[in-house]
Amino acid sequence: MSIEIAETEKFNSRITAYVIVCWILAAFGGLLFGYDIGISGGVTAMEDFLEKFFPKVAERKRHAKEDNYCKFDDQLLQLFTSSLYLSALASSFLASIMCKKYGRKATILAAAVLFILGAAVSGGAIDMKMLIFGRVIFGFGVGFGNEAVPLFLSEVAPVQHRGAVNILFQLFVTIGIFIANLVNYGTSKLHPFGWRVSLGFTGIPSCFLLLGGLIITETPASLIERGKDAKATKVLKKIRGVDDVFAEFDQIKNASEIAKTIKNPYKNLAKSSSVPPLIIAFSLQLFQQFTGINAIMFYAPVLFQTIGFKNDASLLSAIITGIVNVFSTLISIYLVDKSGRRKLLLVACWIMFISQATIGGILLVNLKPTGSLSGIEAKFVVVLVCLYVMAFAFSWGPLGWLIPSETFPLETRTAGFAVAVSSNMFFTFLVAQVFLTMLCQMHAYIFFFFAAWILIMGVSVYFLLPETKGVSIDAMVDQVWSKHPFWKRFMVESNITYADSMHKPAVVTV
């Protein structure tokens, strides 16, 4: 059998107001993910919250001579943060099935409903079980949203702008973290229910996502995958802003024909030709979390309290890092389709390595189990954290989602991306569950631990990650994997040759 797909080309398109609205409304799924990342650290630093659910931690925190590195070490406290990601891991596979069977739009709507339910349960929690249950519901929303939104953005974006459009997801993640820091800063003074406002506030952006899910279109790839060719043509014309969309339609259609030959996409992921995108997707999720970023973003207020800031000052410092996070992601949107993915990742590795190693050195020399850093030292640590966050935000943050969403062929795209999402959630859960314990056991050496991982990441990117800038999403096999000096050996199994689909026009039944 020989099914051919077009080589990379820039299809006709122009940016319309409607497609911009679709991008922004869908990206609200990222805002909710970011809000859930940012809100937990501030809430776990609130006295009222600790007194109600974690009285032992509250008691330890009040002791002036308590070990700086260990005063927040509590497995249940970490479970409050990490339970969300464990449930997101499980739900990502359900979301993959829903994405394939019912479409990206329906999955985004399901995510919005789950976020609203999670906000109601968490904000109204009266005991530990209810609190954790609310986080689990949030986790299901994260699993559904993180599966559908990056796929949606990659599939509706023109090839020449796909990187920038997909990074809207990460931009909204950073905005969500920033909003969470602002909310926590304000609610920390609302005694004794400030934490309820912080957790319940999630319902507001969730309603925007629900509204957005009703307004946005389904992606052409999903419509064609489900046999709705005529509607896909109309949608493609609408989101591209031109009538001449048949070349792009043919490429998506031929990719869909290949996908139909695959009965079990998860089983197909075990084939040799699926190994390259699968390993890259899995590795990016591992590396993204072992940069240490979520350890810092989850527990930023706790971390800043550890080095000597008071509660208000620590929350304010977290807001500063949140601002850096947002604006640095804008750098990525500008550069990703100009400089490419590899350069951004490699430059960031150097910056993050220097920042983590320097933070570790300062804390190792100057922060003892009791006492705190001097004012100048503590401020310098905040500067280094901002430098580190900046580097992550223009590289590993957005590209960890972009690259897996664009490198799988259509026949394994939802399954492959589900593996990426679930891997991300697993490693996020792992870091969230053990970070405070690792901080207690390793003290400043934890920053050297993450710095070592960053070195491994840089080497891996240099030798193993191909550049995907400017390559059509449905021509990755021919243009990327089959030409890479290492990964091409895995492609010999495939008996599908990707060539110019312009010679094989698809028939649209109206």
Backbone angles phi, psi at 294, to 5 degrees: -75, -25
Digit-coded pLDDT (tens) for 151-179: 999 899 888 888 899 999 989 999 998 99
Q: What is the pLDDT of residue 305?
A: 64
> Token pair of 88, please?
């997101």
Indicate the pTM of the whole model. Answer: 0.80
- Residue closest to 32 by CA, chosen among 143, 156, 195: 143
Q: Is the peptide bond before 192 cis (omega within 30 degrees of 0)?
A: yes
- CA–centroid distance for 59 within its chain: 35
Digit-coded pLDDT (tens) for 245-273: 888 899 889 888 877 777 778 888 888 88
Print pLDDT tens along the chain (510 aa): 333 333 445 677 888 889 999 999 999 999 999 998 888 878 987 889 999 998 887 887 676 455 666 766 777 877 887 888 889 999 998 999 999 899 999 999 999 999 999 999 999 999 999 999 999 999 999 999 999 999 999 899 888 888 899 999 989 999 998 999 899 889 988 999 999 999 999 999 999 999 999 999 999 999 999 999 999 999 999 999 989 888 889 988 988 887 777 777 888 888 888 899 999 999 999 999 899 886 676 556 556 666 556 666 666 777 788 889 899 999 999 999 999 999 999 999 999 999 999 988 988 888 776 666 677 877 788 888 889 999 999 999 999 989 998 898 878 888 899 899 899 889 988 887 887 788 788 888 888 999 999 999 999 999 999 999 988 888 888 889 999 999 999 987 554 444 444 444 444 443
- Residue closest to 419 by CA, chosen among 434, 430, 433, 404: 404
H helix runs in 157-261, sequence order: 162-187, 194-200, 203-215, 220-225, 229-240, 246-260
Sign of CA dihedral 506, 26, 133, 417: positive
Digit-coded pLDDT (tens) for 4-18: 333 445 677 888 889
Distance in angstroms (rounded) separating the CA atoms of residues 176 and 199: 13
Distance in angstroms (rounded) separating the CA atoms of residues 340 and 406: 14
Q: What is the pLDDT of residue 10?
A: 64
The C-alpha angle with vertex 361 and arms to 360 and 367, in degrees rounded to 5, equals 80
